[in-house]
Amino acid sequence: MSSDGKIVFVSSIFRDLVAVSPKFPKPGETILGSEFFMGFGGKGANQCVMAAKLGAQTTIVGKVGDDEHGEAYRKNLVKQGVDTIHLGTETGISSGIATIFVESNTGENMIVIAPGANGRLTSEDVIRAEDDIAKSKVVVSILEIGLDAVEMAFKLGRKHGVTTILNAAPARSSLPAELLENIDILIVNETEAELLSGLPSTDTKKCAFQLQKAGCKNIIITLGSKGALVVEGEKEPVKVECPALDSPVVDTTGAGDAFVGSLSFFLSSFSNISLGEAVRRSCAVASMTVLKKGTQASYPSREEVLHLL
């Protein structure tokens, strides 16, 4: 295992407000929930924490507001071992908030996000982190922040020969060609693949091939409990299965982020690992998270996944 598996996450940061109920409410309906709790979320920050818990050297580039949520989040990241030197605080604006509804009978979730300070992250903030990007193995970003920050992260990554990973979530119907050309690995779920490719997700291979034509050579389409489809360059597509679970699903919130964070860890820390093998191990880590409630609270520690390391 390499000792220099440094990863920079140009990230969104959200405080999770979670309500659990037996079913989702219909429009206009008020129902009685069974539980409420707060957690730490945001796709980019979740991915960063997952990689840190596995043992990666992680640096986050992001923004929080000057409120209690921002203060609590900064302390949480430091506790998780994340370098917060490029985590800014915006005055007069709230931190990002994610309101999450979890259906206790199935573990499925519905999420509404209010970006807050995430909308203030700019390309200039990313440029200030260039030295850390240049020293990293992998740069990861998402679409919960402005595209100018994402584009700059990958331009700098490409400039310094760093592997670039975009988790294209939340779903968008298109991405700039220049952005796609600077991405080494594009990760989408079935909904995102359908929207970006313009093709039905019933044929994930066609979706992946269409996304390759748009400019990105390596595509991973996550399939939830069914695993992931890996299309790597000109190689034959590979379907990677998730391991069977021996306990009921409790909460799927954050499982996709656990996958991305794990993948960035495996690719940054193991010099000879194949993309397919990294995906297999990442599916195994993500599968563990659905057996516990919460987002980052459900992520396993390094000690819990030693069999994968």
Active-site positions read 257
Nearest one of 46, 230, 59 to 156, comparing CA atoms: 59
Distance between CA atoms of residues 79 and 284, nearest Å? 25
- From the CB of residue 159, how many other CB atoms can be counted at a distance below 10 Å? 12
Residue spans of beta strands (DSSP E) within 129-232: 138-142, 163-167, 185-189, 218-222, 228-232
Distance between CA atoms of residues 116 and 132, nearest Å? 26
Nearest one of 114, 115, 112, 108 to 20, comparing CA atoms: 108
* φ, ψ of residue 142 in degrees (nearest 5): -140, -175
What tokens appear for 234 in the block?
Answer: 């000109």
Strand partners, 231: 219
- From the CB of residue 156, how many other CB atoms can be counted at a distance below 10 Å? 25
